[in-house]
Amino acid sequence: MSALDAATNDLATITLNARPQNAALENLENSGDARIGWPDEKPPVPTNSDGWFLPANQQVLRDLVKPDALVLELGSYIGKSTRFIAGLLHEGGHLLTCDAWDNDLLEGALGHNYLRSDDEKRSFELYETFLVNLWDLRRTVTPMKMLTVDAIRATHAAGLAPDLIYVDADHDYAGVRRDVELCSRLFPDAVLVGDDWDYAGVREAAQELRGSRPLHVGGFKCWAYAELPRSARAVVVPPHDNPIAMGGVTFWPDARKQERRDVLLFRCVFDQLQAWDNAEALEYLLEATACAPDASSPSHKHRTLLMVAALFGRVRGIRALAARGADVNRQAPGSGEHALQLAAYGGRLDAVAELLRLGADATLRTKYDETAEDAARANGQDACAELRTGAAPAARRGDKDGRADAAKGEKAPWFDAAATAVYARTPPAATPAPAPWRRGGGSLR
């Protein structure tokens, strides 16, 4: 252990001893459960800023987390929200955070909620990456590498009573219900806040279990059994806008700026598209916000929702928007940007393939006289170049870059090649098993 790490550990102990809940926290950290607390050594892996944590959630937590609070977080992933919450706490505040931190679980049984594409595999170990991401916050954060129910029970058994619980683990109805029910029973005074209201299971469970507690939703994303203090300044979407979707819940779209209502609603759907490729959630939001599939916003370069879905490679989103009548060839006023060009620019091959299938025109040009293929090249999308030279059927090539076909008004061969290659793609090789010492919290302590 380095001198600096040793000094930080000492400081952590001193700080822990000074807290009102110090004895209970110490009980928890010294319970002998190897899954709780920090290892002695920092794992040798790089930091990583991946995660799901949107401005709406940040706003709600800023409003509700008191600086000296004890917070319990369910579902940390690699710590994006954990860092944010820890940053809201001052001396005297503390954050317990739990996660299974199990790549196999996340990409297997839980995959339907956490994978952004069907064959996604992470190239990093969740647990070690979390530890490294949060290493400098060891005095404020206690990790618990276990299932949520075990962490909730361990917290209770240690005599700790969180002031606020952030629920962002399981997103299926049964799992959310289990977590919210247990927290409500064991910690009746805690304020419960949760992510992903746009998930049906989350909505149902949170609504069923609210009892007499208020239920407010920030940005159509972050729900809370609490009044949101900034509500008075928020632009409200009244329940009568869409009684079915609103279900008697008060919604407060994220309103840090005094934006027009349609701009706020666009931003809600934008946030959802940025975070996930979930058609069900998108459908719900489009209903709830009454956002047209071709809606666009000056705050987002006049891009339509379909363009946003293309930029982020959200294939299900593209399909859902197109099924609702979104125009795949619409161009943004001024820039001339369009969905296919944005997907190509971002190297989103699945989205390129889907847009072509839906009739996107590869010959459209932006204000800068750029085709989608030009955009891909300009942004150094090597996969695109490979596809053009390697996978494009020779008989369909025009000149060496396929420009002749484009000039004739046909689809550029590169894009057909992209579509062919995407549909024919073979599954990735299985990820090798991680070294045994890396598994589980115990071996790292």
Ligand X SMILES: C[S@@+](CC[C@H](N)C(=O)[O-])C[C@H]1O[C@@H](n2cnc3c(N)ncnc32)[C@H](O)[C@@H]1O
| CA angle, residues 264, 318, 243, in degrees to nearest 5 | 45
189, burial (CB in 10 Å: exposed 0-12, middle 13-18, buried 19+): exposed
Instruction: Using CB under 6 A, pick the residue from 37, 39, 51, 398 that binds ligand X.
Output: 51
Binding mask 382-401 for ligand X (x = CB under 6 A): --------------------
166 versus 415: smaller Cβ distance to ligand X: 166
100 versus 356: smaller Cβ distance to ligand X: 100
Which of 140, 165, 162 is CA-nearest to residue 88?
A: 140
- Reported in sequence order, the residue ranges of 12-157 that DSSP labels E, i.e. its strands, are 70-74, 94-99, 141-145
| CB atoms inside a 10 Å sphere around CB 37 | 17
What does each C-alpha distance from 133 to 47, 49, 116, 211 come to in angstroms? Answer: 5, 8, 22, 37
What does each C-alpha distance from 317 to 18, 322, 419, 421 come to in angstroms? Answer: 50, 8, 18, 21
22 versus 113: smaller Cβ distance to ligand X: 113
Q: Does 80 bind ligand X (CB under 6 A)?
A: yes
Q: Does 43 bind ligand X (CB under 6 A)?
A: no
169 versus 193: smaller Cβ distance to ligand X: 169
Which of 404, 289, 282, 294 is CA-nearest to residue 338?
A: 294
Task: Work out how close the CB of 204 gets to ligand X at its nearest, in angstroms, rounded to a whole number.
Answer: 17
Q: Among the candidate windows 9-17, 95-103, 215-223, 360-368, which touches ligand X by CB under 6 A? A: 95-103
Q: Does 75 bind ligand X (CB under 6 A)?
A: yes
Restricting to residues 248-307, name those near ligand X by CB under 6 A: none
Q: Does 371 bind ligand X (CB under 6 A)?
A: no
The three-class DSSP label of residue 141 is: strand
CA–CA distance, 245 with 356 (Å, rounded to integer): 33
Number of residues in contact with ligand X, rule: CB under 6 A? 19
Instruction: Using CB under 6 A, pick the residue from 85, 110, 269, 342 that binds ligand X.
Output: 110
Instruction: Using CB under 6 A, pick the residue from 29, 38, 53, 343 that binds ligand X.
Output: 53
77 versus 252: smaller Cβ distance to ligand X: 77
Q: Write down how long the chain is.
A: 445
Q: Does 155 bind ligand X (CB under 6 A)?
A: no
Restricting to residues 158-177, name those near ligand X by CB under 6 A: 168-170, 175
- The answer to whether the beta carbons of residues 139 and 7 sit under 8 Å apart is no
Radius of gyration of the chain (CA): 24
Position closest to ligand X via CB: 51
Q: Does 55 bind ligand X (CB under 6 A)?
A: no
Binding site for ligand X (CB under 6 A): 51-53, 75-77, 80-81, 98-100, 106, 110, 147-148, 168-170, 175
